[in-house]
Structure 1
Amino acid sequence: MGFNELLKDLDHSASAQAAGIRRGYGGPPARTVCVRSGLARLRCASLLKPLYAWVSAAHIPDADRWRRHAEPAVVISSNADTLNLWLAVGPRVILDDLRQRTGVAWSPPNGDPSRFGSVEVAADEVATAYAVLAQAAAAGDPVAGTILEWMRQVGTSQAFGAREALKSPEAGVKCGWYGAPDETCLRTHAVAVLPRGGTRATVVVGMTALPYTDLRERGIYQDKVAKGLSVEAEHEKVAGALLRGLLTTALAELGHSPRDGG
């Protein structure tokens, strides 16, 4: 299935993006793919938590303290631990460091800067940033290597079937999911870093913001969020199939095959 088939029947209010990068010394020529339907930029939810954890390490002298918050931020998507890093280092410092390392420029959210999940991003930017993370890890950056290892530990309940869809059980995965009270959509995003060996990197990203307008369902959803209960099943119902389709189609467009690793 190609991108046209995936996106042709989307509701007019929906947004979806996919992107992928395949590059690295000793591999095939660099290759990228990107497709977008709807909004050019979407709120990132928890998609960037590993990147925040990566750059924050250099700004927190106490390595044990950094790890105490960074590991759960990545592995179980802990909002409280992410917020600890985000506020301790500062949103502008974290995002400026990411710009210097990856070349991708993101801005703190308008209004309340503590809302780390309200940074707006595009899928191709996310793919670029994670490709830099992956190649930094391959080149010996110990913090980047640790972050990727944590991404490989993200459990199936928070991976939306990405590894199975990509046929890459060793892939590092991070997903983001949220539906804010002021939105009539659910945002469900995923990034996967596939193992390739050497300094090569393959990254695919899928991002969706799909209509979620039923007042009763939205009320139940917000009640669960307020109580700290899981809402991943609702995101799977609304966006799971499309999200996996975006990831696998992006990977196919990159020409990735099992012999490439992963």
Structure 2
Amino acid sequence: MAFNDLLEDLDHSAGAQAAGIRRGYGGPPARTVSVRSGPARLRCASLLKPLYAWVAADHIDDAGRWRRHAEPAVVVSSNADTLSLWLSIGPRVLLDDLYRRTGVRWAQPGGDPSRFGSVEVAADEVAAAYAVFAQAAAAGDPVAATILDWMRQVAGEQAFGAREALGSPDAGVKCGWYGAPDETCLRTHAVAVLPRGGTRATVVVAMTALPYTGEHDRETYHARIAKGLPVESVHEGLAGALLRGLMSTTLSELGHRSR
């Protein structure tokens, strides 16, 4: 399927992006692909949690404490544990460290500094940052390698079928899903790091922000969040097919071949 087939019928208020990068070491320049419909930047939801965990390790002397929060932040997308890292270290410190490591600069969201999921990003930026992270893991960074292994453990509805769409059962995956009360859309995002061997890396990112304006549906959605109940099925019904289509098309355009 072509990108145009996926995007041509999107509502005028929707946003969708996809990006991918495939690169190695000592070989040809990186191959990249990206596409966008709608806003240039979208709120990141939980897409960056593995990256936050990666840089947080350098700022927490107690490795056990770091792991107690970092592992559930990645494997089950725990917001409480992410906040423990985000606030104890500080958003500016984490984001500045990510810039230093990856060359990708993201800004602290305005207003409430606790809203780590309100950092605004573009899909190509996310792909570039995760490619650095993936190659660090492959080159022997033990923290990055541990986090990438946790990403391989993300399962069930929290993976949104990304591995199946990419034909890569061993891919590390992290998804993000949320719709804030001040938004008229639901955000559903995914990143996948595919195994390639050596220090090569292939990363695929898809991001969507689709209208969700029915008053009753929105009230029900936020009531479930307030009670701590899962809402992944809502995001799957609204955006799952588009998310997987963007990811599989991006991988195809990258020319990736399964090993």
TM-score by length of 1: 0.98
Distance across 2 between alignment mates of 1:236 and 1:228? 18
Q: Distance in 1 between matches of 2:11 and 2:68?
A: 42
Partner of 2:34: 34
Aligned partner of 2:111: which letter?
G
Cα distance between partner residues in 2 of 1:28 and 1:93:
34
1:249 matched residue in structure 2: 249
Letter in 1 for 2:132: V
Q: Which amino acid counterpart does residue 149 of structure 1 have in structure 2?
A: D
Within 1, Cα distance between the matches of 2:3 and 2:247?
Answer: 10
The secondary structure found in structure 1 opposite 2:209 is strand
Tell me the SS of whatever aligns to 1:22.
strand
The aligned counterpart of 1:180 is: 180
Cα contact 1:74–1:154 (8 A) shared by 2: yes
Aligned counterpart, 1:139: 139
1:16 counterpart = 2:12:
no
> Following the alignment from structure 1 to structure 2, what is the Cα–Cα distance between the partners of residues 250 and 85?
32
SS state of the match for residue 230, structure 2? coil
Count of residues in Structure 1 that have an aligned counterpart in Structure 2: 259
Residue 117 (1) aligns with residue 142 (2): no
What letter matches 2:186 in structure 1? L
**How far apart in 2 are the matches of 1:215 and 1:159?**
28
1:25 CA displacement: 1.6
What is the DSSP-based 3-state SS (H/G/I as helix, E as strand, rest coil) of the residue aligned with 2:147? helix
**Does residue 168 of structure 1 match 2:168?**
yes
Q: CA deviation at 1:163?
A: 0.3
SS of 1:105's partner is coil
Range that drifts further, 221-230 or 28-37: 28-37
RMSD: 0.8
- The answer for the alignment partner of 2:158 in structure 1 is 158
Q: Which residue of 2 aligns with 1:97?
A: 97
**Contact 1:45/1:176 (8 A) holds in 2:** yes
CA distance in 2, matches of 1:75, 1:63: 17
Runs (5+) with no aligned partner, structure 1: none
Shift of 1:128: 0.4
Q: Distance in 2 between matches of 1:133 and 1:33?
A: 19
- Taking the TM superposition and a 5 Å limit, the aligned residue runs for 1:26-105 are 29-105=29-105
Matches of 2:198 and 2:26, distance apart in 1: 8
Deviation at 1:26, TM superposition (A): 5.3
Report the 3-state secondary structure (helix = DSSP H, G, I; strand = E; otherwise coil) of the residue aligned with 1:109.
coil
Q: What code does the residue aligned with 1:104 have?
A: V
2:195, 2:54 → 1: CA distance? 18
List gaps (5 residues or longer) in structure 2.
none
Query: Partners in 1 of 2:29 and 2:170 — Cα distance?
Result: 24
2:239 and 2:89 mapped to 1: Cα distance? 33
- Name the aligned partner's letter for residue 66 of structure 1: W
Instruction: Report the TM-score, using the length of structure 2 for normalisation.
Output: 0.99
**Aligned equivalents of 2:14 and 2:172: distance in 1?**
27
Secondary structure in structure 1 of the residue aligned to 2:25: coil
How far the C-alpha of 1:157 sits from its partner, in A, is 1.6
Q: Secondary structure at the match of 1:92?
A: helix
Equivalent position SS for 1:46: coil
Secondary structure of the equivalent of 1:21?
strand
